[in-house]
Amino acid sequence: MVIKLDKEGDENAVEESEEVEKKVVGKEKKAQLIDLPGVGPGAVAKLEAAGIYDLMGLAVLTPAHLSEMAGMSESVARKAIQASRKMMDLGFSDGLAHEEKRKELFNITTGSKNLDNLLGGKGIQTKSITEAFGAFGSGKTQLAISLAVGVQLPIEQGGANGKCVYIDTEGTFRPERVRQFAEGIGANPDKVLKNILVARAFNSDHQMLLLDKVAEMIKDGEPIRLMIIDSLTAHFRAEYSGRGQLADRQQRLNRYLHNLMKIAEQNNLAVYVTNQVMSDPAQMFGDPTKAIGGNIVGHACTYRMYLRRGKKDSRVCKLIDSPDLPDDETVFMIERDGLKDIEL
Ligand code: GTP
Ligand code: MG
């Protein structure tokens, strides 16, 4: 299903490439819930209905919780939990092993060399959440579309050879824009659109629920390498707007981000979220805009980008508080057929 590119934009150049796909998806068989002692098909069905699909989901439960969920005795539940923890080897690992694990990560090009460089050279990364915040029209959604196309490219062309899940909370996903971006890199627009699985989230509960659906799709073998939430905060902000509701909102947002990170880490996929800004009256000097969601969002996102309009219709992107990259900024343009660089 990977798109292959050919400079002439030849239709046939975009074709199925099973060989590469196997390399990405065909990991050695992972232990599953059914492999645990005392966990039969009936228990698996109940667990899946409750949103537990894998060993990690089960390993973090308490025996009482598992026993209630799966309809088994507490002692059987305790044994299953112990077995899952053992199989997953939960605990410490040394720095070298950690480094080895980081080699599994994929990068996804943003479509702009300048932006890719700002993010360490190769765009956004799997097993992390990248946030773009900024005012309306700053380019958050356009960047989302560029990534949704980029993820489908073969690894050697800056993609992750995978599909994209697009959770659209505001109804701003535009297939026409995907077509234009795909044409811009000489890919078959129909095939590119087919690899973007779009869901409209109607409220924050629905937005939460869709994450379970994504976990289910991955379990069924969909090679998803990118999940986009556009926008992360809009529903939460609209639904919890009253005085005294802020703590509730933050708590739910926190839970949501936690689940996002869990899916990203367990399935080696990248998460890109967009976020709005509000003006901060306390800020007397400099830029008075600040991201919605405060520290909860700030801490949960691995990479934060602040987008704003620059000179001559350009967009300025500033990287903030990255764990491994310097704070820096760059410039790019939004054009009909994709994000374009301008000379720095
Ligand atoms: P909100 O969702 O409203 O918060 O904004 P956003 O940050 O998601 O904005 P988005 O990424 O949708 O950017 C919209 C801007 O992209 C427009 O104002 C245009 O400047 C630009 N844009 C969108 N489509 C095109 C296009 O076809 N050609 C060109 N040249 N620019 C476009
Ligand atoms: Mg938008």
50 is a domain residue:
yes
Residues lining ligand 1, CB < 6 A? Answer: 134, 136-142, 172, 276, 334-336
Cα(37)–Cα(41) distance, rounded to whole angstroms? 12
**Are residues 120 and 73 located together in one domain of the fold?**
no
- The answer to whether 107 touches 249, Cβ cutoff 8 Å, is no
pLDDT, tens only, 257-269: 999 999 999 999 9
Angle value at C-alpha 223, between 7 and 228, nearest 5 degrees = 85
The ligand with the least distance to the CA atom of 168 is: 2
Per-residue pLDDT of the chain (344 residues; tens, 9 = 90+): 556 554 444 433 333 344 434 334 434 467 899 999 999 999 999 998 887 888 888 998 999 999 999 999 999 999 999 999 998 877 788 999 888 888 899 999 999 999 999 999 999 999 999 999 999 999 999 999 999 999 999 999 999 999 999 999 999 999 999 999 999 999 999 999 999 999 999 999 999 999 999 999 999 999 999 999 999 999 999 999 988 998 999 999 999 999 999 999 999 999 999 999 988 777 777 777 889 998 889 889 999 999 999 999 999 999 998 888 999 999 999 999 999 998 87
Exposed, middle or buried: residue 140 (CB in 10 Å: 0-12, 13-18, 19+)? buried
**Are residues 78 and 124 located together in one domain of the fold?**
no
28 is a domain residue:
no
**Are residues 111 and 158 located together in one domain of the fold?**
yes
**Are residues 113 and 164 located together in one domain of the fold?**
yes
- For residue 75, what is the enclosing H or E element? helix 74-88
Three-state secondary structure call for residue 250: helix
First to last CA, the chain: 36
Percent pLDDT > 90 in the chain is 72
24 is a domain residue:
no
Give the chain's domain count.
2
Give residue 334's domain range: 103-341
Cα 173 to averaged position of ligand 2 atoms, centre (Å): 8
Q: What is the DSSP string of 96-156?
A: HHHHHHHTT--EE--S-HHHHHHTTSS-EETTSEEEEEESTTSSHHHHHHHHHHHTTS-GG
**Are residues 69 and 202 located together in one domain of the fold?**
no
pLDDT, tens only, 316-341: 999 998 888 999 999 999 999 999 99
Q: Cα-flanking dihedrals φ and ψ of residue 138, to 5°? A: -80, -15
63 is a domain residue:
yes
13 is a domain residue:
no
25 is a domain residue:
no
**Are residues 232 and 172 located together in one domain of the fold?**
yes
**Are residues 173 and 76 located together in one domain of the fold?**
no
pLDDT at 23 (0 to 100): 39
20 is a domain residue:
no
Amino acid at 103: K
**CB count in 10 Å sphere of residue 162:** 26
CATH number at residue 229: 3.40.50.300
334 is a domain residue:
yes
The ligand with the least distance to the CA atom of 138 is: 1
